[in-house]
Amino acid sequence: MKTKTFSPGDLVSLRTKDKSWQGHVLESYDPSVILLKLKSGYNVGIREGEILDARVTETAKDIKKPEVELVKKKGLRNVVVIITGGTISSRLDSKTGGVIATDVGEILKIAPKIGEICNIVKIESPFMKMSEDMDHRDWKKIAEVCEGHLNDSSIDGLIITHGTDTLHYASAALAFFLGRLNKPVALTYSQRSIDRGSTDASLNLICAAKYAVSDIAEVALVGHKNSDDNICLAMPATKVRKMHTSRRDAFKIVNGEAIAEISSEKFKINREFNARDNSKKVKLDVRYFEKVALIKVHPGQDPSILEYYEKLGYKGIILEVTGLGHVPGKMSQNNWLPKIKRIIDGGIVVCATPQTIFGRLNLNVYSSGRDLQKTGIVFLGDMLSETALVKLGWVLGHKKWNHQEKMLENVAGEVSKC
């Protein structure tokens, strides 16, 4: 009760039976325990009931953060950084014990080498979200911010920082929304937060900056190649997937190859690319139809799930199918074929992607593949399911397009040629 008036951050003096305590009050998860930051730096809990006397010796102060100063060097290309949230832009507020979004400038301070690579002329944050909370509206917002800078002739490239959970959806969306690019767009991230010395953000940001000043006018996801802090890959936006929950090199290229290998010393380009042309403008195409679903087919699954989506007004479904391209068929207790055919006839675009993640579908090897083909399903070759989902939403956003044909067209490198 004596501690009711405490606010997080207050410097307080407490007395228990045989000891007095001084420290800063932190946000406690348990109302019966006062969490205190001692002078030694340790945070400890003291039972409320054991506190005999308590007083605030100093109320919490707001500490002003130092202003970010953007220095411009002659001869360096100009880059804009767009910050959207995620681990790369969150850190702990030790005053209260909560996690807060960082000041936009902090991110660059952890990678001061960027100042030798490019001029950061602007840091912009359309929103701060963890990526699991994002959807196509957020991708659209990012794309719109990008458009402004891409069509500004004084800007040479963009870096976008983003949470990792759904970063590969966002990278695919930007590849479709931004169309033929005139400048590099680098998406990057961190798996270890920037309040620890071992953060991977530092190398990722340096490599993203090197990509942003390169002549590769494509959307790329730039991040650790392996567990070492010395080399990153520029990964194609539609051919990349988060493949690990926690490692630095969580993102892997699937059915494709890196655009470039980047380290502090080197920039090695691996393939032909769409070249920079600052004189050109980009034209955004952000139309999107959100009622699209991704279903993973699994043994014993009831195909009625398709009708559920149909009832909800869905117009597109990506079926993540087994093996070379199969669903439970005629010999199964749950034959999917009639229901797939029926919803396709009813106007839903149904596409198939491999749930093996790696490899390409081939419907001719087994009869079950040939049976599935007869339903009118669109086989998407070696396209990633997540990329396919985003693409389907984008394609269905365009009423006049032939949706089936457009899904098969290689718009942004999403299907690899053999």
Partner 1 sequence: MVHDYNKLGLKAGLEIHQQLNTSKLFCECPSLLRNDEPSYEVERKLNPVVGEIGEIDVAAAYEESRHKTFVYQVYDTNCLVELDEEPPHEINRDALRIALQICELLNCEIFPVSQVMRKTVIDGSNTSGFQRTVMIAHDGYVEVGGKKISIDAVMLEEDSARPVSRENNKVVYKLDRLGIPLVEIATGPHMHTPEEIKAVALKIGEILRACDVKRGIGTIRQDVNISIKGSKRVEIKGFQDTRMMIKTIDEEISRQKKCVEEKSCRSEVRNALPNGESEFLRPMPGAARMYPETDVPLLKISRELTDEVRRNLPKLSSEHKSYLDEFGLNDELVKLILKGNKVEEFKALAEITSNYDLIVKSLTIFPKEIARKENKILREVEGILNLDVLIEVLENVGKKISVNDVKNVLTKIVEGKGLDEALEKSDINLKGEIEKLIKEKPGLSEGAYMGLVMGKFKGKVSGKEVMDVLKRVL
Question: Which are the catalytic amino acids?
Answer: 87, 164-165, 242
Q: Does 261 bind partner 1 (CB under 8 A)?
A: no
Q: Which is nearer to partner 1, 84 or 375 (CB)?
A: 84
Burial of 284 (0-12, 13-18, 19+ CB in 10 A): middle
Q: Does 33 bind partner 1 (CB under 8 A)?
A: yes
Tell me which of 215, 229, 285, 371 binds partner 1, using CB under 8 A. 229
The mark string for 78-107 relative to partner 1 (x by CB under 8 A, - otherwise) is -------------xxxxx-x-x--xx--x-
Identify any residues that bridge with 201 across adjacent strands, giving them in sequence order.
none
Beta-sheet pairing, 292-296 with 316-321: parallel
Tell me which of 43, 332, 334, 416 binds partner 1, using CB under 8 A. 43
Q: Does 347 bind partner 1 (CB under 8 A)?
A: no
Q: Does 130 bind partner 1 (CB under 8 A)?
A: no
Q: Does 15 bind partner 1 (CB under 8 A)?
A: no
Q: Which is nearer to partner 1, 10 or 138 (CB)?
A: 10
Q: Which is nearer to partner 1, 42 or 400 (CB)?
A: 42
Candidates 244-252, 292-300, 318-326, 395-403; binding stretch for partner 1 (CB under 8 A) = 244-252
Q: Does 266 bind partner 1 (CB under 8 A)?
A: no
Question: What are the tokens at 252?
Answer: 């892997």
C-alpha to C-alpha distance for 392 and 403, rounded to whole angstroms: 8
C-alpha closest to that of 11 among 55, 65, 63: 55
Residue type for 360, please?
A: R
Q: Does 63 bind partner 1 (CB under 8 A)?
A: yes
Rounded to the nearest 10 degrees, how much is the dihedral formed by the CA atoms of 263, 268, 274, 279?
A: 60
Beta-sheet pairing, 378-379 with 349-354: parallel
Compute the C-alpha angle 121/145/217, nearest 5°. Answer: 75
Element (H, E) at 2: none
Q: Does 30 bind partner 1 (CB under 8 A)?
A: yes
C-alpha to C-alpha distance for 360 and 324, rounded to whole angstroms: 7
Residues that bind partner 1 (CB under 8 A): 18-19, 28-30, 33, 35, 38, 40-47, 63, 65-66, 91-95, 97, 99, 102-103, 106, 109-111, 192, 194-199, 201-203, 227-230, 245-248
